[in-house]
Amino acid sequence: MAEAVDYQVLGTRPVRPDGVDKVTGRAQFGADQNLPNMLHGKILRSPHAHARIKRVDLSKALAMDGVCAAVTGADFPTVASGVSIGEAGGDVMDIAHNVMARDKALYHGHAVAAVAATSLEIAEQALDAIDVEYEVLPPVLDVLQAMAPAAPLLDENCFTKNLPEKPDKPSNVASVMALSRGDVEAGFEQADLVVEGEYRIPMAHQGYIEPHACTATVNEEGKATVWCCTQGQFDFRTAIAKILDWKVGDMKVVPSEIGGGFGGKTVVYLEPVAVLLSQRAGRPVKMVMSREEVFRATGPTSGTVCRVKVGAKQNGRITAAKAWLAYESGAFPGAPVGPGAMSIFAPYDLENFLVEGHEVRVNKPKVAAYRAPGAPQSMHAMEVALDDLARQLNMDPLDLRMVNAADEGTQAPYGPKFPAIGFKACIEAAKKHPNYTAPLLEGAGRGVAAGFWFNVGMQSSAEVRLNEDGTVIVMEGNPDIGGSRASMSLMAAETLGVPYEQVKTYVGDTESTGFCNLTGGSRTTFATGMAVVRACEDIIAQCRSRAAATWGVDEEQVEWRDGQAVPAPGVNADVNPLSLADLAAGAPRTGGPILGRASLNAQGAGASFSVNFTDLKVDQETGAVEVLSFTAVQDAGKAIHPAYVEGQMQGGAAQGLGWALNEEYIYDADGVMENAGFLDYRVPVASDLPMIDTEIVEVRNPSHPYGVRGVGETPIVAPLAATANAVRDAIGIRINDLPLSPPRILAALGGE
């Protein structure tokens, strides 16, 4: 492992290598792939939120001029339950049935059939010619209603998992889970003060700019190539192959540039359909979702109901905490209630607690991962309750958190003891921040909240190639969402001891680079970065060997220093140092091309903590919130490229503010989403936000060669409660539910 203290290039801020292509329009996104003789595919979607599919007749559509193929669920192979696909894919049968409904449509927008035609217009006309007979069933849309014993059932074969005994009746509650420690009731008896509340957050979408898109072609030998926007080409390859019962080796997936994912592009929707249509038609098929389809049929995150009760002594020390969580999973199981339950109390050192979690199926789209999946909802509840506690104790909210803060050696609520973590350092940095010491503007409110995410490692590969002139190519398999190509180049340059400009990083397809799990879980800079460092160390070992052979000395007598092979101290060799360029030029004589490789399953992803605070004003006449300032403090372990770390913190804050203030899925009584577009589903735009101020805390993660912790997920966790607490501070009224939209605030203020 590299041990670097005085870094040469880590921590610098070079311009991102993909920047020019993106601002000039040269970058190729999912919808930019076109092939000769290509067809256009479209999906017919259910007009009902819950219906039995009695019959699908494709004959009229297939008879139309220009229609080359059409498929329904019956054209897909039967897929057995029980196999999990990918990092965030879930059960393969659920994914397959979400890609194309079989006997039941489980939400408005659920795919029922698909066509491929010579033009988009013909494909859309063909959808109208498909005859589907439905038996409409009552939808269940509310998580608490879905849990009621008499609720309409989405799946008669769904029996609640993890109960002490297998239930004898099916339920919409897909699973339950619990975490506990100590004696929670005795803890509440010791408390001087108890606060509690119920907090509701509706479904929200990841809101990536680029809609899902793919192009697939199946050649005469039965091999498929799929170009698509994805967070993970290898996990998509696995998913498509399993859903279609193909061999993985017959499937190549090429990732495009990606216009945002945030977890929503970890699962397949169009790709298996496009492959099947291409196979049937014998021609390439391109499929692109509309924004409306993205909202109606792709991964929102769970709507939730969270109940929290916290007891504390007068000095602020928490004696007991209890939480009851119900997370919507949408039409299929897969709600992130597990991470939600494990994260809700994670920042705090608690002796007595109980968390009970429930994942509940409702007639809405199947949820997908969204930054720190599950944590923003549960931690909103806890952080709001702590704000109420601080008010009643007349304590600074940061002091209350410091009194209870987890530290190295604290046993996390989910089991293990924390290694070195940066939560206390974040609290201290926030307390000293000029935005926190500054007086509050008249009429404004200030809110504080903490955030947390576990981070993951998982499998990564990297290959480092030394070109003839000493320049370096890094090949890896993680789509670059947040600037990872620059981060990989920085780590490679630091390890090899060469300038950043000497290294170029490329993202390969499934046949040109080794396996990598997807870009998610805040794992890429940590895990793939670790693979890049090890591949560079492989290069260095080979370079030392080549230098030793050149000089006629033992390999141990050669050191690698500042990008050059040099004789070790005390070695009597009258030689000149050999640079990477020298060694590359001499490679034909010393053994051939120099190539470094590494594959690993990275362990030890260090948890990341944050503290956010915001100042805002509320318009008493309209209920509109004006965010005056927002400050994000977060532990990054080591910021490889500080501008990208700050970008993650700012982006997470922007998304969190949108979730807190305006974003929500609005349904009518029939389960039809009423705001499936960016005009009515209101994400924040630049004019809604101030510059997000950031402060990076660096508490080294001992498991990474450069101390890296993942940074992509934690930033979205704290903004929800920080905003809610600031609104409470501004108007003097606690509103438990999100979003804090103008109508909701106005109603709380007593207006209309």
Partner 1 sequence: MATVVFPDHLLGCTNGQRQVELLVDNYRELLLALEKQWPGIGEALAKSAVAIDGQIYQDAFLEPVNADSEIFFMARIEGG
Residues that bind partner 1 (CB under 8 A): 84, 87-88, 162-165, 175-180, 206, 261-264, 266, 336, 338-339, 342, 369-373, 414-419, 453-458, 520-523, 601, 603-605, 703, 712-713
Which residue is associated with the tokens 């460092």?
533
- The C-alpha R_g of the chain, in whole angstroms, comes to 27
Report d(CA 26, CA 398) in Å as an integer: 47
Closest approach, Cβ 84 to partner 1, in A, equals 7
Q: How far is CA 313 from CA 287, 310, 318, 634, in A?
A: 59, 11, 6, 28
For residue 739, whether the previous peptide bond is cis, meaning omega lies within 30 degrees of 0, is yes
Q: Quick check: helix, strand or coil at residue 12?
A: coil
According to DSSP H, which parts of 567-641 are helical? 580-585, 587-590
Q: Quick check: helix, strand or coil at residue 338?
A: helix
Closest approach, Cβ 182 to partner 1, in A, equals 12
**CA torsion through residues 321, 334, 681, 522, sign:** positive
Closest approach, Cβ 45 to partner 1, in A, equals 25
Under 8 Å between Cβ of 662 and 741: yes
Which token pair is 517? Answer: 């799990």
Report d(CA 531, CA 525) in Å as an integer: 10
Closest approach, Cβ 333 to partner 1, in A, equals 13
List the beta bridge partners of residue 627. 616
Return the number of the residue (234 or 370) whose C-beta is nearest partner 1.
370
Closest approach, Cβ 323 to partner 1, in A, equals 13
Report d(CA 206, CA 259) in Å as an integer: 12
Return the number of the residue (10 or 335) whose C-beta is nearest partner 1.
335
Report d(CA 630, CA 191) in Å as an integer: 33
Closest approach, Cβ 368 to partner 1, in A, equals 8
Closest approach, Cβ 572 to partner 1, in A, equals 43
Return the number of the residue (512 or 601) whose C-beta is nearest partner 1.
601
Report d(CA 387, CA 394) in Å as an integer: 10
Return the number of the residue (480 or 615) whose C-beta is nearest partner 1.
480
Under 8 Å between Cβ of 349 and 405: yes
Closest approach, Cβ 335 to partner 1, in A, equals 12
Closest approach, Cβ 408 to partner 1, in A, equals 10
Under 8 Å between Cβ of 486 and 643: no
Closest approach, Cβ 324 to partner 1, in A, equals 14
Residue 361: closest CA among 664, 665, 112, 139: 139
Return the number of the residue (134 or 208) whose C-beta is nearest partner 1.
208
Q: Quick check: helix, strand or coil at residue 430?
A: helix
Three-point CA angle 284, 285, 288, nearest 5°: 145
Provide the strand spans (E) within 668-712.
692-697
Return the number of the residue (225 or 703) whose C-beta is nearest partner 1.
703
Return the number of the residue (143 or 375) whose C-beta is nearest partner 1.
375
Closest approach, Cβ 456 to partner 1, in A, equals 5
566: Cβ–Cβ under 8 A, 6 or more apart, which residues? 558, 559, 560, 577
Closest approach, Cβ 538 to partner 1, in A, equals 23
131: part of which helix (H) or strand (E)?
strand 131-136
Under 8 Å between Cβ of 322 and 308: yes
Under 8 Å between Cβ of 461 and 535: no
Return the number of the residue (454 or 613) whose C-beta is nearest partner 1.
454
Under 8 Å between Cβ of 337 and 314: no
Return the number of the residue (397 or 457) whose C-beta is nearest partner 1.
457
Which residue is associated with the tokens 């109980």?
354
Report d(CA 68, CA 123) in Å as an integer: 9
Report d(CA 560, CA 566) in Å as an integer: 6
Closest approach, Cβ 722 to partner 1, in A, equals 20
Closest approach, Cβ 713 to partner 1, in A, equals 6
Return the number of the residue (348 or 454) whose C-beta is nearest partner 1.
454
Residue type at 636 in one-letter notation? A
Report d(CA 100, CA 307) in Å as an integer: 36
Return the number of the residue (57 or 356) whose C-beta is nearest partner 1.
356
Strand pairing report for 625-635 and 608-618:
antiparallel
Return the number of the residue (29 or 414) whose C-beta is nearest partner 1.
414
Q: How far is CA 663 from CA 143, 200, 543, in A?
A: 18, 13, 54
Closest approach, Cβ 264 to partner 1, in A, equals 8
Return the number of the residue (359 or 646) whose C-beta is nearest partner 1.
359
Return the number of the residue (272 or 715) whose C-beta is nearest partner 1.
715
Return the number of the residue (510 or 522) whose C-beta is nearest partner 1.
522
Under 8 Å between Cβ of 556 and 519: no
Strand pairing report for 445-453 and 578-579:
unpaired
According to DSSP H, which parts of 152-196 are helical? 184-190
